[in-house]
Chain A
């Protein structure tokens, strides 16, 4: 069924300062979470990792009312979406996570390291997670990508190749020292010398 052809998309507006009780209640409000920051299910295969960091504004001040969403493939590079025409993942891994930053502007996602996804030419992309950034003061969310430190495939990644060499590091999560599951740090700077690369998608 179709409606009259729209004259354009509905414009975006800011998520505002008060989204938490609706979108990221996290047990603090009388509402349940549709999504959390833990993407790992018992039957998920792949390397368990944590991606964590802090979101900063143009003054270098942590943003405490920011929401982050991530979307990624499973360890075999498949998306849990019927639009991915290959075999669907044989686990309950959904590949989508959401979190609001804490009182220090920090966040963390527990997930798995994604596999390789091809670009439109069939060329392999380096493992990456797509991230969307929302906050009060942001009228339209921003898209970026999280790549991984020490990944040989980064050198040939077709998207990283679009990024000026001196800004590429803003897209690469750095492996933190320690035992146990790998922890990667990915800070997000909305402005400034370390401004994160955002994509016009």
Chain B
């Protein structure tokens, strides 16, 4: 299978300069990016060994002396290419705030408690069908300094590797129905509503585990489509 990475696929991404998100003003290039053809340097990408992802790295609730505080959730889904095919053996990294909206990071000074039983980092590798699964705690919303009374909607950060260095994706997964959506300049930096909705996980009752944890499904679509598209209808 040979994949191509059309530049048009990038239209779903937010513009790098999104002034409502103030930090973009000094951190986005002002000169045009230079188009170039992809060479093997862009079309290849790293492969990881089994040592990269350890057996329990996908479960963020079992690394402390006891269970973290908060609402236990399952987050699962498929990593897909633009044709909807699962991407096997993709590395999925995740990090997030705890249930109170506080990150372990030393720079985070939000006056909400840290949880000694929750670091908030996880890692998984997709199976042959592109499927991944995490067990974690639902993160809290938290304030930030972008503007008066700015709060980030609850979100989980994802970092995903596909087949190539140009399919690399860092994104954030949101939760359905968050009342903070209309006010968040990062979420709304994605101007197309359909594209924005692809960052929102779906509540998944079928995979919610009775008496144990709610489940959310989050499919992640990476750049890359078949070089020779076939009519399949």
Mark A residues whose CB is within 8 Å of B.
1-23, 25, 28-32, 34-35, 57-59, 61, 63, 65, 69, 71-73, 79-84, 94-96, 117-120, 125, 128, 130, 132, 134-143, 145, 159, 162-163, 167, 190-191, 195-201
B29 and A190 contacting across the interface, CB-CB below 8 Å: yes
Report which of A3, A79, A84 forms a contact with B86, defined as CB distance below 8 A: A3
Contact (Cβ within 8 A) B220 A10: yes
Could you say which residues of chain B place their CB within 8 Å of the CB of A80? 46-47
Instruction: Please give 19 more A-B residue pairs, beta carbons under 8 A apart, in addition to A15-B159, A16-B157, A22-B157.
Output: A9-B9, A9-B222, A14-B186, A18-B95, A19-B157, A22-B120, A73-B40, A80-B46, A81-B45, A81-B47, A117-B40, A120-B37, A130-B41, A132-B168, A136-B23, A138-B24, A143-B165, A143-B166, A198-B29
Instruction: Tell me whether B170 is interfacial, beta carbon within 8 Å.
Output: yes
Flag if B83 contacts A2 (CB, 8 Å).
yes
CB distance from B86 to the nearest CB of A (A): 6
Q: Does B42 contact A (CB under 8 A)?
A: yes
A-B contact count (CB 8 A): 272
**Total contacting residues, chain B, CB less than 8 A:** 93
Query: Is B230 at the interface (CB under 8 A from chain A)?
Result: no
Q: Which residues of A sit under 8 angstroms from B91, Cβ to Cβ?
A: 34
Chain B contacts to A: CB under 8 angstroms: 5, 7, 9-16, 18, 21-48, 52-54, 63, 78, 80, 82-86, 91, 93-95, 97, 103-108, 119-123, 129-130, 157, 159, 163-166, 168-172, 186-187, 189-190, 194-196, 198-199, 219-223
Q: Of the candidates B16, B95, B123, B165, which one forms a contact with A132 in the assembled complex, judged by CB atoms under 8 Å apart?
A: B165
Question: Is B196 a contact partner of A11 (Cβ separation < 8 A)?
Answer: yes
Measured in the bound complex, the distance between the Cα atoms of B104 and A30 in whole Å is 10
CB neighbours of A28 from chain B (8 A): 106
Minimum CB–CB distance from A132 to chain B (whole Å) comes to 6
Q: Which residues of A contact B35 (CB under 8 A)?
A: 162, 199-200
| B119-A137 in contact (CB<8A) | no
Contact B23 A10 (CB under 8 A): no
What CA separation (Å) do A75 and B89 show in the bound complex? Answer: 26
A84 touches B40 (CB 8 A): yes
Within the complex, which residue of A21, A65, A162 is in contact with B95, where a contact is CB–CB below 8 Å? A21
Beta-carbon contact of A25 and B121 below 8 Å: yes
Whether A139 contacts B121 by the Cβ 8 Å rule is no
Q: Are A139 and B16 in contact (CB under 8 A)?
A: yes
Once bound together, how far apart are the Cα atoms of A72 and B189, in whole Å?
A: 32
Main secondary structure of the interface of B (DSSP, over half): loop
For residue B196, which residues in chain A have a CB less than 8 angstroms away from its CB? 11
| A-B complex: 10 closest residue pairs judged by Cβ atoms | A22-B95, A137-B23, A137-B27, A96-B46, A58-B26, A200-B33, A22-B121, A18-B105, A81-B44, A13-B172
Q: Is the interface of A mostly helix, strand, loop or mixed?
A: loop
Known: A10-B198, A29-B121, A81-B44. A139 touches B34 (CB 8 A): no
Q: Are A191 and B220 in contact (CB under 8 A)?
A: no
Chain B residue, CB-CB nearest to A161: B36
Contacts A/B (CB < 8 Å), 19 sampled: A1-B129, A6-B221, A8-B194, A10-B169, A11-B171, A11-B199, A16-B157, A22-B93, A22-B120, A22-B157, A35-B46, A57-B27, A61-B26, A83-B163, A96-B46, A119-B37, A125-B41, A191-B26, A199-B36
Q: Shortest beta-carbon distance, B143 to chain A, in Å?
A: 13
Cα-based distance from A5 to B172 in the complex (angstroms):
21
Q: In the complex, A10→B87 CA distance in Å?
A: 14
Query: Across the interface, which residues of B come within 8 angstroms of A29, CB to CB?
Result: 104, 119, 121
Contacts of B54 in A (CB 8 A): 32
